[in-house]
Amino acid sequence: MNNNDILRRIRFAFDFSDPQAVKLFSLDPASSVAMTKEDFLRRLAKDDDADFVACSDIELCAFLDGLIVHKRGLRENAPAAVAKPANFHLTKNDILKKMRIALTFREEDMLETLAEGGTEMSKSELGALFRSPTHKHYRACGNQVLRNFIKGLTNRLRD
């Protein structure tokens, strides 16, 4: 799954209109991403379309941070904004963490959502996804886990 797929699926899960989705990119004051409706539609285009533009890690991060602000509001006493380096990399574990934060999901909510999407997971397996990459029990989140989480989330939000 690439960033464009993730962006499409999250937008569909929450049923955001184009203007709502574009607004998310600018909700986080730390975001330096300027997204217009036309730019956003290019990122929603299919990979083989002439208008297709790949969604960068920084852009997807700005969208997810905007989703957090949209769902939870701005944090009081938030640390000062730090610009992301040019070699910034957003992992699937980071995406899952940001979704968990935005939705204020607890462990049980995450497991139920994953199960609804088709992935059965134990509490310890889930915990391994949220550990530091340097921890000995860290587990990288795969495409299928993230895909099934978003699928389960779509089922929960759309029913």
* Res 81: pLDDT: 60
Question: Do the Cβ atoms of 21 and 40 come closer than 8 Å?
Answer: yes
Kindly tell me the sign of the dihedral angle through the C-alpha atoms of 132, 141, 114, 75.
positive
Confidence (pTM): 0.91
* Res 22: pLDDT: 95
Burial (0-12, 13-18, 19+ Cβ within 10 Å), 47: exposed
- The yes-or-no verdict on residue 34 having pLDDT over 80 is yes
Distance (Å, rounded) from C-alpha 141 to C-alpha 84? 22
Tokens representing 49?
């379309």
- The yes-or-no verdict on residue 90 having pLDDT over 80 is yes
